[in-house]
Amino acid sequence: MNNISLKKTYSGKVRDLYEIDDKRMLMVATDRLSAFDVILPEPIPGKGEILTQISNFWFEKLKHIMPNHFTGDTVYDVLPENEARAVEQRAVVAKRLTPVKIEAIVRGYLAGSGWKEYQKNGTVCGIRLPDGLREADKLPEVLFTPSTKAEVGGHDENISFAECEKIIGKELAAQVRDKAVALYTEAAAYAETRGIIICDTKFEFGLDENGTLTLMDEVLTPDSSRFWPKEHYRPGSNPPSFDKQFVRDWLEQSGWDKQPPAPQVPADIIGKTAAKYREALRLLTE
């Protein structure tokens, strides 16, 4: 990604940002993979292009729910042709927004850290749930479970809705919760018709210059969500992974302590993960 003549202003776990002007930036999705908040040594070939196409599909599909970060410009409007051609599948021209300082996590099913907490306390992120739920059960209602937004290398921390209100204000917290639940609910219903169950997902929001809440970053990708193949879904067991959870499962079994540096992921796991990303794109968009 070093062949872009714009000034790079930020390099995150997955995305690099470049300055265009005071209203716009170029967002480029790399092939880096982050798991447990650590960037893995091996990239996933083609991942940035696939994620960008999945996000773009959802931004378009869900734009009636809320505005998003698109400006209407293409990479060809802001880069020389040779540079634009090199990144056109993995870059978008995005509005400069003020990020909302929480991660908006929405859960539709009982899995992952939520399942672990439920087994101990009967709660998910402090929210009391009925007794007797099994792993991967559909939740009685969709849950909004915000977390803090960690710097690169840090860990996001689950917080209560009351803490979320303290961080971003009551009015904005309610707006973020309602929009996140609406986005997830519509997307999950559509994905299920394409053979994918969206167990949970994470949205990123920003405020534009007028204070309007705007959907940004990436949307409902295999990196920001837990996708399950519907045909293999059986409540009571952890469904086979359809996303970067595949790599996370391998890392969990590897004995790694989740502190940098991450171990070298075997080539066959990298290859299978790339295939999962491609399959998700095909199922959702074809």
Give residue limits of the domains in the chain. Answer: 7-95, 98-243
Question: Where do the DSSP E strands lie in the chain?
Answer: 7-11, 15-19, 24-29, 34-35, 38-39, 91-95, 98-99, 102-109, 123-124, 127-128, 138-144, 147-148, 196-207, 213-216, 225-229
pLDDT means over runs of 10, the chain (286 residues): 86 94 97 91 95 97 98 98 97 97 97 95 96 98 93 78 97 98 98 97 97 97 93 93 82 94 94 93 95
Could you report the per-residue pLDDT of 219-267, keeping only the tens digit for each? 999 989 999 999 999 999 989 877 787 798 899 999 999 999 999 999 9
Two domains, one topology: 7-95 and 98-243: no
Classify domain 98-243 at the CATH topology level.
Answer: D-amino Acid Aminotransferase; Chain A, domain 1 (3.30.470)
Torsion angles phi and psi, residue 204, rounded to 5: -115, 135
Reading the block at residue 49, the tokens are 């292009």
Buried b (16+ CB within 10 A) or exposed e, 42-54: bebeebbbbbbbb
Q: How far apart are CA 75 and CA 89, in angstroms?
A: 9
Give SS3 for 11.
strand
The reported pTM is 0.93
The residues near 12 (Cβ < 8 Å, ≥ 6 apart) are: 152
Residue 198 β-bridge partners: 227
Superfamily, domain 7-95: Phosphorylase Kinase; domain 1 (3.30.200.20)
